[in-house]
Structure 1
Amino acid sequence: MNAPNHDTTPAAGPNPAADPVAPDPVAADPVAHGEVAQREPRWKRLPVVWQLRRSVGLQRGMLIAGLVLCVMFILMAVLAPLIAPYGFNQLSDAEGNFPRQAAPSAQFWWGTTVGGYDVFSRVIWGAQTAVLTVLLAVLASIFLGIALGLISGYLGGWLDRILVTIADAIYAFPSLLLAIVVSIVISGGESGFLSGILAAALSITVVFVPQYFRVVRAETVRLKAEPFVESARVLGASTPRILSRHVLRNATRSLPLIVTLNASEAILTLAGLGFLGFGINPTAAAEWGYDLNRAISDVAGGIWWTGVFPGVAIVLLVLGITLVGESLNDLSDPRLRMRRRPTKLPRKTATAMKGAA
């Protein structure tokens, strides 16, 4: 016996109820369905490029301005030996000793300090110090904060209580005061590498570790009760495998936003340490906060160039990092993304729709 034919496909011919102009959902929005994303070059799928393409209007302007400022200072840090005409602690050249508190001129573009240092060279080398110190501090903070947060949130018990208590105690101290104490303990009044960039980076690391710890621990506590983590545990997966394969990626989704905001705070903390005399040893590296401290006595004499340029450098770098962080925060918020103007269809799709019409 033949099976009954249940084919309900309508016969060919005009159908006035159908809308021939209405596009197919996949064709109308191929980006949402992943078709165009798979055909795009790899560089267009980079996180920064992807966020830049998603931004519009003021968000895009803020993100571009922040990226330009950050890239400018990174290039200054990397190319400091090529850009700076003199060393950060150089006081003389083949023509003799540098003049002290000399006004900006053809030889010294931004003048010289009370100690005879070239201001332009100090600012350039200071960018290298700031970028390297913040990079070391943020990386160390992320590593320690994530590791402690995963262990504390997943294992719980007495270890969790101890780590939470220590983190809360550290978080209760003013960040600059805590950085000063740690810097004194680490350097111990000795000169050398520990009194330079490494000591400053470690002192800032202690300040930021509790922030990453609290965020990761809260996410880990929530994730360990999720069904996919419970399933992995029932199947016999080890604790390190569960933490690395299932919890880590989901618990660190919001960290990029925290990193950008903490980086700007790290710049200010570093400058504050140098300004108060607890930062990097002046013989170890150039530092903008120390230069501002030395420029205080110049203000009364009308010597403005020794303090203006290091101060502007601090403001611009903090502004650039803050703009990037705020832009990423806006783009990650679904409520703010809904305010964006409608995305234009790709040119090929729009042309195909017009042809179909």
Structure 2
Amino acid sequence: MTTDTTPPGGPTRTDTTPPVAKASPRTLAWQRRRRSAARFWAHYRTHRAGLVGLAVLVLFAAVALTAPLTVGSDVSSVTGAPGRPLQHPSGGFPLGTDRFGRNLLGLVVWGSRISLLVGLLAAVLSVAIGALVGITAGHFRGAYATVMMRITDWFLVMPTLVLAIALATVMSRSLGTVILAIGVTSWPTTARLVRAQTLAVESRPYIERARALGGGHAHIMLRHVLPNVMPLVLAQTTLMISSSILAEATLAFLGMGDPTVVSWGGLLQDAREAGAVSSGDWWYLVPPGIAIAVVALAFTLCGRAVESVLNPRLGVER
């Protein structure tokens, strides 16, 4: 005789499925960032002009990074120049030589390092100053905002190039001076845009809830306002780089740059001093000028595409 030992509720099952570990907040944040980056790229690649600009920038960045390997660091040396002064383009010198007999193709390649570096750093400095002024003026308001906006208006009405020349004149001639002169004179537009966006963000209900829960000024600006204005800051940075490259070329052309380094603007200044315009030495002027124009256009195309992706309401044409 057998005894049924089955429980009244039926046979029990042993669950061998391991428990699913919950993702940490940092992991979730990285997952959201990856999804956002994927969505951004999916929208960005629909802009043909933006893709063309990005391809051109990648090409110039590769040329600048590999310049020590392709042309060598001694290409800018005046002593021991390989060619005759102002030699026409030929098989040995595809872009001819400068007034010292240096290979102009190598100088243009080497100059891309300085021009791109100065443009990038000056744009970052300019946008950082503008974002700081815009966020704080939009958050605190009152007398502080009034004073900061009047200062911003003063910088807006003053010619940027004149201020940059004045700073470059009173300070030592170096790359740091050029970066500082461009950065501290070109931030007002960014400050205006960021302040308007900050005012729009702080009018939303969740900012009031953050204040009611005890969020301080730093918490609100860093955790709520800054993430919402970052897309605008990113788009403004890409647009500012092209302006910074043009400003650096202008300062170098006027003799305000660092004479110890080679840049595209410095090459134009050398060509002017050598009388390339009057003597018809077109190969001395055209290559650095085209390089400046192409890079500035590429950054502008990328900036417009980024701006259109991050703010579709602008209706920027693709």
Question: CA offset at residue 260 of structure 1?
Answer: 1.9
Question: CA offset at residue 129 of structure 1?
Answer: 0.6
**1:1-357 alignment to 2 at 5 Å?**
45-46=37-38, 49-53=41-45, 55=46, 59-60=47-48, 62-85=49-72, 87-93=74-80, 98-187=83-172, 195-278=173-256, 280-283=257-260, 285-296=261-272, 297-331=275-309, 332-334=311-313, 336=315
Change (3 A) 1:164 1:289: same
Whether the aligned pair in 1 keeps the contact of 2:125 and 2:184 (CA below 8 Å) is: no
TM-score, normalization by structure 2? 0.81
Query: Following the alignment from structure 1 to structure 2, what is the Cα–Cα distance between the partners of residues 156 and 330?
Result: 29
Question: CA offset at residue 79 of structure 1?
Answer: 1.4
Q: Which amino acid aligns with 1:202?
A: L
CA offsets 1:86-128 (integer angstroms, 9 cap, x no match)? 53531244xx764211222343332211133321121112110
Query: Following the alignment from structure 2 to structure 1, what is the Cα–Cα distance between the partners of residues 151 and 36?
Result: 43
Q: Which amino acid aligns with 2:262?
A: A
Question: CA offset at residue 295 of structure 1?
Answer: 1.8
Question: CA offset at residue 326 of structure 1?
Answer: 2.5
Which stretch has the larger CA shift, 63-72 or 324-333? 324-333
Q: Which amino acid aligns with 2:242?
A: S
Which stretch has the larger CA shift, 126-135 or 300-309? 300-309
Q: Which amino acid aligns with 1:132?
A: L
Change (3 A) 1:246 1:48: closer
What count of residue pairs does the alignment treat as equivalent? 285
Change (3 A) 1:83 1:46: farther
Identity of aligned residues (%): 31
Query: Following the alignment from structure 2 to structure 1, what is the Cα–Cα distance between the partners of residues 243 and 119?
Result: 9
| Structure 2 spans left out of the alignment, 5+ residues | 1-30
TM-score, normalization by structure 1? 0.73
Whether the aligned pair in 2 keeps the contact of 1:88 and 1:286 (CA below 8 Å) is: no
| Structure 1 spans left out of the alignment, 5+ residues | 1-38, 188-194, 341-357
Query: Following the alignment from structure 1 to structure 2, what is the Cα–Cα distance between the partners of residues 225 and 301?
Result: 62
Query: Following the alignment from structure 1 to structure 2, what is the Cα–Cα distance between the partners of residues 132 and 327?
Result: 22
Secondary structure of the corresponding residue to residue 201 of structure 1: helix
| Alignment RMSD | 2.6
Which stretch has the larger CA shift, 65-74 or 117-126? 117-126
Q: Which amino acid aligns with 1:310?
A: P
Query: Following the alignment from structure 2 to structure 1, what is the Cα–Cα distance between the partners of residues 225 and 184?
Result: 24
Show the counterpart of 2:20: none
Change (3 A) 1:282 1:88: farther
Query: Following the alignment from structure 1 to structure 2, what is the Cα–Cα distance between the partners of residues 169 and 313?
Result: 33
